[in-house]
Amino acid sequence: MQSLCGTLLDSLAHSGQAVAVTDHRAAGQPLIFVNAAFEQLTGYRRDELLERDWRLLRSAEADPAALALLEAAVAEARPVTVELRHARKNGEIFRNRLHLTPICDETGAAVFLLSMHADVTARPDRQEPDPRREAPHEQQGVANEHARRARTVARAAGGWEWDVPGRRLYADARFAELYGLAADAAADGLSTSAFFAPVHPADRMRLRIAVAGIMHGADIFAKDYRIINPDGSVRWVAARGGTRRGADHELLSFEGILTDITDQKRVEEQLRIVQTAGGVGTFEHVSGFGTVSVSDQFCRLLGLHPCEALPVRTVNGVVHPDDPPLIGGQGDDSSYREFRVIHPENGEVRWLARRGEHRDEGHALGVRFIGAIYDVTAAKEAQEKLRQFAETLEARVRERTRERDRVWNNSRDLLAVIGEDGILRSVSPSWTGFLGYRPDELAGRRVLDLLHPDDVAIARAALQMDARPQNLSDFELRFLHRDGTTRWTSWHTSHEDGLVFAYGRDITLEKARAEDLRRAEEQLRQAQKMEAIGQLTGGIAHDFNNLLQAVYGNLDLIRRKPQDSTRVGRWAENGLQAAERGVKLTAQLLAFSRAQRLELRPVAISALLRDMEDMLTRTLGPMVRVRLDLLEGEQGVFADPTQLEMAVLNLAINARDAMPDGGNLRIETRLRTVVHDLELVPGDYLELRVIDDGIGMSPEVKARAFDPFFTTKDVGKGTGLGLSQVYGMVRQAGGATRIQSTPGLGTVVTLLLCLAELASAAPPQGEQAGDGAAARAATVLVVDDDPDVRCFLVNSLATLGYLVVEAKDGQAALQALDEVNPDLMLVDFAMPGMNGAQVASIVRKRRPDLPIVFASGYADTAEIDAVGMGTAVLRKPFKIEELEAAVASALARV
């Protein structure tokens, strides 16, 4: 019966609706099931009702017509609804509304008859009026009667009555409470839409379909659904009911009982989760029946789609043919049983275990077998592996020993067993390549004797800590190789049975790479610092050159004029000498900042250094011995020869100053291949090394040696720009500088220069100067934004006999170009608005043949070079002779 009725009977058994089941197949159709509500309704106990004739409640006052209708329905096993006068155990007569429904098996044959009972004694017999013709006061009377009847329905549960013709819903206080309605309003009657209003949206359509089924002929209504309370909480309810029809089968009312099953649903959900999480499936089978009630997890374990009941033959059909069936079978008992199942879809075989209990209820329902199944495949596999392992244990031990020995002997890492006393018990062969000792030479020696002296203390503390015990991880130590070199290692240890098991890794190369990275980062920071300082000094030098040009040029004009006093001429000479020092200072600044344009070309380095040997000997004095150690043959480098000579001279003078008591200065050249360097492109370079054995530099001084204006000399004895000029020149030529110095041992300054192929062709012939008189007749357009410099240029050119037109900026120059038609344009490079290169580009389009001379105190001449042929550059500050030569040369090329 349980398998045929399913969850419907489970729900009715715990509801407030009186329910009874009779066995349609047995003689007399005895009662085989009643619920507690039926016992309460009739006054009989369950044991007094079971196995008795279903007619025991009849009284002499029963309506013969209703009895005949009921008997006919029972005989034909069809649904029916009747009202009969029945008698309780104590003889009390009550009016019983009875709904009868047959329960059929798989073949469609009626097996049981399910009846639902309700006490409707309080409802007077009356004809249902037509609600369209009722007066208002009559409707109120009907409402009161419905409310009174609703309050008597189902006692502990909530009851409702749906007046179908009147389209009103009447309910008791418990129904109103469950639905979140006002009790008075529910008793007086509500619109039938109130039955659906608080229902959860996900359940509302399902409920409407079930109610529609009742309205169109179904006799039994049973639905579980959710109600949303006014506070937003959700509760589960079970609605069980049926219809009442008139003599002509007209539908009069839809009545039922509403029960709160929230706790039941919560327990069911918890049970489902527990079963799913624990992998446990449950089942219940009643002896003699062909179906078994099952849980979702039960179905999943068997590889079946989840459902509430399964045929016994389907359950047993997935069991392995060689194993006993899961349900039934010879010798079936509640003891533990293991069996295999074959997945219906993929054929996978799994091991399951079953446990259960038999429950004898003592009535015609038979014996219930309630049990659980769960997967034990992993355990069975583990048992099988253990059995196989036990059978091959000896062979495995031998194989594992060989594997351990292979790992020990072939490991490239360092393996060691150390006693708590720090003595090496055993070491792997890899130690030989690491330290140069054989394993038998190391066994029995103290670990501390193999360490770098600086690491002995921390290693001793670590061994003591490990003996407590505590394991070490990534513990770094330095070992001394047999040849005296240092090797870095990283160790992991574990402690067991008074021994330390150590695993070490050679990280010497990693440490070296980390140190290289640190040095590279330091070089990068230094290069970035020098670049920033260089940009600053370049800008200062440019402005300073403009100032010097005005001073330098005007002093040169004074010197060239006949003077009434010799003192004025002498003063002019002194001023020019001071200006020369300023020129040298700005040249050093521009060289450092790489803003001075170098005349880079292939230079024979050995020849240049040999030509400087006499000058170096005279400059450094007799207390410094100079020695050249140069490459055999001639090697070319890419450099500005003048700047390179100045760089070597500056380094030699610095070396002399670092040897106040005299010493040795060696200049040597070597070839070097660069692979990894942040400042250099990989390739071959020439190393020019200037080596002294002087007082050396401290790390702090060495770090700032290339900084401009940094000097350790006394005030007035150095500008601090010598090494910075060397740095700027070499970097501009594509090379790099390095300093190695140890206090008291001397200094080595290395210049890495790019190699270049020396040209064998003869130098080009100089251009012939043009006729001086013709040049003097030329008109020169002077363009410069600095009024002092422009005044000097105008006066100088006028003194030299040229016709001069001046312009204060590029716009004025373009206007004068059309008005004057000059023979040459002298233009400043750095001007606000349009710079000199931009002005020259426009002029070149208008007058392609016009000679152009640039006057520049800054060396970024890429834009000047882009103007094209016919341009020359005068470096500020310049003398009148240089101005005269540049202008004459430019005019001569026309």
- Residue 226 — pLDDT band, cuts 50, 70, 90? very high
For 648-728, list the strands marked E by DSSP: 663-674, 683-692
Pick the residue with more confidence: 310 or 584?
A: 310
Calculate mean pLDDT across residues 675-696. Answer: 90
Average pLDDT over residues 469-474: 73
Percent of the chain with pLDDT over 90: 15
User: Looking at the predicted structure, is the pLDDT value of residue 22 above 80?
Assistant: yes
pLDDT at 671: 94
Looking at the DSSP bridge assignments, the partners of residue 294 are 283
Task: Report which of residues 539 and 52 the model is more confident about.
Answer: 52
pLDDT tens sequence across 438-453:
888 888 888 888 888 8
**DSSP for residue 52:** S
pLDDT above 70: percentage of residues in the chain: 76
670 pLDDT more than 90: yes
CA-based radius of gyration for the chain: 57
pLDDT, residue 570, reads 56
Mean pLDDT on 669-696: 90
Q: Report pLDDT for 137.
A: 36
Tell me what the mean pLDDT of segment 542-551 comes to: 63
pLDDT > 60? residue 126: no
Q: What is the mean pLDDT of residues 111-137?
A: 58
Q: What is the average per-residue pLDDT within 142-152?
A: 42
Kindly report which listed range (10-24, 484-498, 528-542, 643-657) carries the lowest average pLDDT score.
528-542
Arithmetic mean of pLDDT, 755-764? 66
Is the per-residue pLDDT at 135 higher than 60? no
The average pLDDT across 497-506 equals 81
Region 541-556: mean pLDDT is: 63
Q: What is the pLDDT of residue 722?
A: 54
Mean pLDDT over each residue of the chain, to the nearest integer: 79
The set of residues, in sequence order, having a beta carbon less than 8 Å from that of 387 and lying 6+ positions away, is none
Q: Which residue has the higher pLDDT, 776 or 704?
A: 704
Q: Which residue has the tokens 């720009």?
A: 721
- Given pLDDT bands bounded at 50, 70 and 90, which one contains residue 392? confident
Beta strands in 542-635 (DSSP E): 601-604, 624-629
The conformation of residue 658, written as its DSSP 8-state character, comes to T
In this structure, are strands 624-629 and 663-674 parallel, antiparallel, or unpaired? parallel
DSSP 390-416: HHTHHHHHHHHHHHHHHHHHH-SSEEE
304 Cβ contact partners less than 8 Å away, ≥ 6 residues apart: 310, 314, 318, 344
Rounded to 5 degrees, what angle do the CA atoms 688, 701, 639 make?
25
User: Quick count: other Cβ atoms within 10 Å of Cβ 812?
Assistant: 16
The pLDDT, as a whole number, for residue 874 is 82
Element holding 235 (H helix, E strand): strand 234-245
Question: Is pTM, for the whole model, over 0.75?
Answer: no
What is the pLDDT, as a whole number, of residue 447?
83
Residue 802's pLDDT band (cuts 50, 70, 90):
very high
* Residue 306, number of CB atoms within 10 A of its CB: 11
Q: Flag whether pLDDT at 612 surpasses 90.
A: no
Least confident of 11-20, 106-115, 647-656, 820-829: 11-20
Q: Residue 833's pLDDT is what?
A: 84
Q: Helices 810-820 and 836-846, interaxial angle, to 10°?
A: 30
- 114: closest CA among 264, 249, 11, 246? 11
Which structure tokens are listed for 203?
A: 């359940």
8-state DSSP, 637: E
Q: Given a cut of 70, is residue 758 above it in pLDDT?
A: yes
DSSP H or E run through 819: helix 810-820
Mean pLDDT of 356-380: 78
The DSSP letter of residue 662 is: -
What whole-number distance in Å separates Cα of residue 840 and Cα of residue 814? 10
State mean pLDDT over 141-154: 41
Structure tokens at 36: 């507690």
Residue 807 is predicted with a pLDDT of 93
Mean predicted confidence (pLDDT) in 601-606: 91
